[in-house]
Amino acid sequence: MATLEALPGPFTFDPATTALLVIDMQRDFMEPGGFGETLGNDVSQLRRTIAPTAALLAACRAAGLTIIHTREGHLPDLSDCPPAKLNRGDPGMRIGAPGPMGRILIRGEYGHDIIDELAPAPGEPVVDKPGKGAFYATGLGELLTSLGVRSLVVTGVTTEVCVHTTVREANDRGYECLVLSDCVGSYFPEFQETGLKMIAAQGGIFGWVADSPTFIAALQ
């Protein structure tokens, strides 16, 4: 077992039953000139997570931790995208529309894939999800059960959308979640700050928060 200082208090985990979950580090969200930036978002707010996440991945691979990546996206025929999600925003910028890096959030398109800096290593599962949460309409729950995972270290984008939704889903399923503050990002600094506070508030209502150097030190 290992323990580290976190908010709201010490986080204890067994590396053998802990998985790193890297959420939606996709070009559509992260890259200058991509879908996210085209919507007017400041991608630098997300890009500051790349270097610490790369270091985290290296440390987790060296420690033999289970590593799982996710991607948000839809089938080319959009049959897995509910109208309530599809019919939102500028029609030229909707899911499935031709974006700067291929059809927006469509599986198989260049923009849908994970950025080169954080490319999954051979053998690391990549979970494709149609929703914001990584458990909804995916095999993630069964995968974690089959691997014997009990604790999740969660990183990725965006803090208040897909990271929060996934942590809430995981919390309800009995997983202990540690969110790494420097490895999650929001386009909106105020959402980043408040999103992290919301996780650890009320005695850790959804989980724990620490930074990646603290986690890496505990892993070694």
129 is catalytic: yes
Tokens describing residue 190: 């105020």
Tokens describing residue 54: 């790369």
Note whether 107 and 74 are within 8 A (CB). Answer: yes
Distance CA(205)–CA(97), nearest Å, equals: 38
Amino acid at 110: Y
Residue number, 6 or 162, with CB nearest to ligand TIU: 162
Residue number, 59 or 105, with CB nearest to ligand TIU: 105
* Only segment of 106-114, 157-165, 196-204, 211-219 that touches ligand TIU (CB under 6 A): 157-165
Query: Of the residues 24, 28, 113, 128, which is catalytic?
Result: 24
Shortest spacing between CB 134 and ligand TIU, in angstroms? 10
Shortest spacing between CB 12 and ligand TIU, in angstroms? 28
For 118, half-sphere exposure in the C-beta direction (CA atoms, 13 angstrom radius) is 34
| 28 scored as a contact of ligand TIU (CB under 6 A) | no
Distance CA(43)–CA(52), nearest Å, equals: 16
Element (H, E) at 2: strand 2-4
Shortest spacing between CB 1 and ligand TIU, in angstroms? 32
Name the site residues for ligand TIU (rule: CB under 6 A): 24, 29, 72, 157-158, 161-162
Q: Which residues are catalytic?
A: 24, 129, 162
